[in-house]
């Protein structure tokens, strides 16, 4: 295992142990649930939108280390961002998770801490754990009342 992978793993373990923005927002104006039946991960994302800016965001739920760490890092990444920026981040993250490993798009450079999930790409089943929080966030932003599912 490379040193880089160790570092990434440390970040994931840290966020799993001490998730950031964990809980429910009492004054949330958008909420969505997400479910990854393959692994059993369940998430709820709640957020406060002010205009088109994600003013505040929290998540709760139970799941594996990767799903929890991904949700935790996601909340940090999107807080204070405009919806269009959030969508660009999701696109970049999705590309990182599913794209050609030899291609690093422009979006990749903007991902910051989200890049710790790069190694997850090697494990297709785990990719769903890592992207669940993002699908749930999308559902909350769309507010269509559907439960986001990775299946």
Residues that bind Zn ion (CB under 5 A): 39, 41, 64, 67, 129
Beta strands 53-62; 41-50: pairing state: antiparallel
Q: How near is the Cβ of 81 to Zn ion at its closest, in Å?
A: 25
Q: Toward Zn ion, which CB reaches closer, 115 or 127?
A: 127
Cross-strand partners of 33: 44
Q: How near is the Cβ of 38 to Zn ion at its closest, in Å?
A: 8
Q: Toward Zn ion, which CB reaches closer, 75 or 131?
A: 131
Q: Toward Zn ion, which CB reaches closer, 107 or 116?
A: 116
Q: Cα separation of 41 and 34, whole Å?
A: 8
The owner of tokens 């999308």 is 138
Q: Do residues 149 and 36 lie in contact, with contact meaning Cβ atoms separated by under 8 Å?
A: yes
Q: How near is the Cβ of 69 to Zn ion at its closest, in Å?
A: 10
């Amino acid at each position: 295992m490379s040193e880089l992978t160790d570092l990434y793993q440390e970040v994931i373990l840290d966020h799993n142990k001490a998730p950031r923005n964990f809980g429910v927002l009492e004054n949330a104006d958008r909420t969505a649930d997400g479910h990854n039946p393959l692994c059993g991960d369940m998430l709820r994302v709640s957020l406060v939108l002010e205009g088109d800016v994600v003013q505040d965001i929290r998540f709760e739920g139970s799941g594996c280390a990767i799903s929890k760490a991904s949700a935790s890092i996601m909340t940090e990444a999107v807080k204070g961002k405009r919806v269009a920026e959030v969508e660009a981040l999701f696109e970049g993250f999705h590309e990182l998770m599913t794209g050609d490993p030899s291609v690093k798009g422009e979006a990749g450079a903007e991902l910051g801490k989200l890049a710790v999930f790069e190694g997850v790409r090697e494990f297709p089943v785990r990719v769903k754990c890592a992207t669940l929080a993002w699908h749930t966030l999308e559902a909350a932003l769309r507010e269509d009342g559907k439960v986001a599912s990775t299946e």
